Structure 1
Amino acid sequence: MAIRSILTYPDPFLKKIPARVKDFGPELQRLIGDMADTMYEAPGVGLAANQIGEDYSLLIFDAEPDPEVRNFKVLANPELLESEGSFLSEDEGCLSVPDFRANVKRHARIKVSAMDERGEPLVMDLEGFEAVIVQHEMDHLRGILFIDHISSLKRSLYVKRVNKQLRREAV
């Protein structure tokens, strides 16, 4: 497998809503392996396929990442079935929004339907940190970044900082 480059804000591909996964063959299995290599190397706890420039409604996550054990879960074409409660996810970050963390309002519990890496249907009841990760990654699959959930003032400060950095790099 391979470590892939992670797209970062303001890359327009991050706003694109990816296509549903239809083929669970060898190409998808390679992509899942690349996503796992990339997530563990970053290091991160979740990754959506569109974060590495792939047009698939696919995410992986591991709430207790260990590159040796690699106990990640795969969700293809995930859909939120139920949500319950809310809380402030403190200090949330994103591999596609480097060097920025914020508090984000999330559901406390969720029920998600999806397909696993073989295309078999599954339903997961998640709460706590796992629920936060899956909500965050599912947002990616809807073209939403976690900074879209924060106040416009905090978001504009981050955008200004990124734009300033991009101008410096262009010189």
Structure 2
Amino acid sequence: MITMADIIRDGHPTLRRVAAEVTMPPSQEDKEILKSLLEYVINSQDPELAEKYGLRGGVGLAAPQINVSKRMIAVHVKDENGKQYSYALFNPKIISHSVEKAYLTTGEGCLSVDEAIPGFVPRYARITLKAIDLDGKEVKLRLKGLPAIVFQHEIDHLNGVMFYDYINENDPFLPIENAIPVER
């Protein structure tokens, strides 16, 4: 089981590396790592388990955040209608996106970043991604709103990009032109 102690922090070189593709079919070890990423985000949202194991709440986790430089992410998040998106994915790739942008009104956070870094993070309002799930099946997801933002945040980790790289340094809360504000 992954705990906060396994999550590397901002400044660790692995967080800035481009992660390697996972060879298909995935090894048993890669499957176990991916399962444990999903287990963490699910458990971190359960107040009793989070307290018992000292887990910081999160909606997504990428393998580089536990110092495994491979293209694996897990997301467990609900959209504004309460629909649950719970995915553990190998080699996720955004294959198309909207021109329109979106951003979280509260800004973004990250399990690898201990301090709050205020500011708007521009993201694509809608994305389509392809990936391979734990059963080795290809998955194609069309996402918008909070799930789209979360998946982009996690995929950025696979490319060595941190959320605050997008924040306008001079004016962190500068309104993002023609962007949809997303409440969390």
The one-letter amino acid paired with 1:53 is: N
Unpaired segments ≥5 residues, structure 2: 45-54, 79-83, 173-184
The structure where helix makes up a greater share of residues is: 1
Contact 1:83 1:110 in 2 (8 A): yes
- Where 1:92 maps in the other structure, the secondary structure is coil
1:62/1:32 CA distance change after superposition, 3 Å: same
* TM-score normalised to structure 2 length: 0.74
Deviates more, 1:135-144 or 1:16-25: 16-25
Q: Distance in 1 between matches of 2:11 and 2:171?
A: 16
CA deviation after TM superposition for structure 1 residue 25, in Å: 3.4
Matches within 5 A, 1:41-52: 41-52=55-66
* Residue equivalent to 2:30: 28
- Where 2:114 maps in the other structure, the secondary structure is strand
Unpaired segments ≥5 residues, structure 1: 65-69, 156-171
- Where 2:160 maps in the other structure, the secondary structure is coil
The one-letter amino acid paired with 1:86 is: K
- Alpha-carbon RMSD across the aligned residues, in angstroms, is 2.0
1:10/1:133 CA distance change after superposition, 3 Å: same
The one-letter amino acid paired with 2:75 is: F
**2:77 counterpart of 1:75:** no
- Where 1:126 maps in the other structure, the secondary structure is strand
Contact 1:114 1:121 in 2 (8 A): yes
Q: Distance in 2 between matches of 1:63 and 1:2?
A: 18
* TM-score normalised to structure 1 length: 0.79
Structure 1, residues 46-102: CA drift from partner, whole Å, max 9, x if none?
Answer: 0000001012101000114xxxxx973012111111111212222211111122143
The one-letter amino acid paired with 1:108 is: A
Identity over the aligned pairs, expressed in percent?
Answer: 30
The structure where strand makes up a greater share of residues is: 1
Between the two proteins, the alignment pairs up a number of residues equal to: 150
Deviates more, 1:123-132 or 1:3-12: 3-12
Structure 1, residues 101-137: CA drift from partner, whole Å, max 9, x if none?
Answer: 4311111110001111122111100010000000000
* Residue equivalent to 2:141: 124
* Residue equivalent to 1:38: 40
CA deviation after TM superposition for structure 1 residue 7, in Å: 1.1
CA deviation after TM superposition for structure 1 residue 20, in Å: 0.7
- Where 1:62 maps in the other structure, the secondary structure is strand
* Residue equivalent to 1:150: 167
Higher RCO, Cα 8 Å, sep 6+: 2
CA deviation after TM superposition for structure 1 residue 36, in Å: 2.6
